[in-house]
Amino acid sequence: MRRREFLGVLGVLGVLGGAVAFAPLTARAQQPGKLATVGFLGASSASGWSPWVAAFMQRLRELGWIEGRNLTIEYRWAEGRNDRAAEFAAEFVRRKVDVIVTGGLSAVAVKQATSVIPIVFAVASNPVGTGLVASLVRPGGNATGLSTQAPDLAGKRLELLREVVPRLRRLAILANIGYPASVSEMSEVQAAARTLGLEVVALEIQRAEDIPPAFMALNDRAEALYVTADPLVNTNRNRIFTLASIARLPTIANIKELVEAGGLMSYGPNYPDLFRRAGDYVDKILRGTKPADLPVEQPTKFDLVINGAIAKALGLTVPPALLARADEVIE
């Protein structure tokens, strides 16, 4: 475990073990005895989002929001299904919650359900292009949050992968073509791969049932696998990386959780940090600030995570220089 993560754990224990003072509530939560209500809509599963929810809740506690005292949170999980996201968004609107926290494509479903209730998206790949906000600096409307849009990351991940697999010539890309951000990322990976002279095979999925046939169709046509993360992939990550392991494919992805599930490497924004910062947005909104007045922010922390155990199982040698650059090495 990295030193800063260890210190973070100690901080969580301190928060949980001690009394937390909180400021008088104003604006939306100012009525005596009234608990502010947050509707939390996860795009995938509770287990998939658990470390991110923990970071979000820790930040709220630090800001004085205590469940059962001045705050209640209603959790719903879309399990990677857009229809479920739309149903839960409509439910939150009927319940008239004070703010809705979400991320990914579920944020679009929430935005379609209400133009009044404040929305905080903890992660959004293209908030302007999907209509969540008018602009990053001046969101307008009722939504704001954090954008993960960074087109140059696809090329960076391929460069990192080639440091571990220097003779890489054939690359497979696993992407949910029903998820716009994954389609966009797949295009970016294909462009970066062409620049590096790599042959590309696309494994297109839209349902959990599509995953095994996609690997079967691969049939030894690739030497490594790039996984684009989305709610469907996150929900089925154990199955995906089991199949990748059976096929003996080194993998690269964008979030640590996929490496913990059996992937080789990940490089991308630190999601717990993004969800922690989403807590700041919720705090400001519950105290009276309008979402339209809160600019959309970008990631500030990027992590390189390497699974040393998977590297050994695949017979790969991770260069010492790359290990030294890693934020975390899983053994």
Confidence of residue 181 (pLDDT cuts 50, 70, 90): confident
Structure tokens at 11: 């901080």
Treating both helix axes as pointing N-terminal to C-terminal, what angle do 153-164 and 180-195 enclose, rounded to 10 degrees?
A: 60
Q: What is the pLDDT of residues 265-280, one digit of tens each?
A: 999 999 999 999 999 9
Structure tokens at 118: 């404040």
Give the range among 5-19, 101-115, 131-145 with minimum mean pLDDT. Answer: 5-19
Helices (H) then strands (E): counts for the chain:
13, 12
Instruction: Give the model confidence (pLDDT) of 18-38 as tens digits.
Output: 433 333 333 444 455 689 999
CATH 3.40.50.2300 residue ranges of the chain are 19-149+271-300, 153-268+304-330
Span 292-305, average pLDDT = 95
Out of 3.30.70.250, 3.50.50.60, 3.40.50.2300, 3.50.40.10, the CATH code matching 19-149+271-300 is 3.40.50.2300
b/e map of 106-144 (b: 16 or more CB within 10 Å)? bbbbbbebbeebbbbbbbbbebeebebbeeeeebebbbb
Task: Flag whether the pTM goes above 0.95.
Answer: no
37: left (phi over 0), alpha (psi -120 to 50) or beta: beta
Domain 153-268+304-330 has CATH 3.40.50.2300: yes
Unique residue bearing structure tokens 């996860």: 42
Question: pLDDT above 90 covers what percent of the chain?
Answer: 79
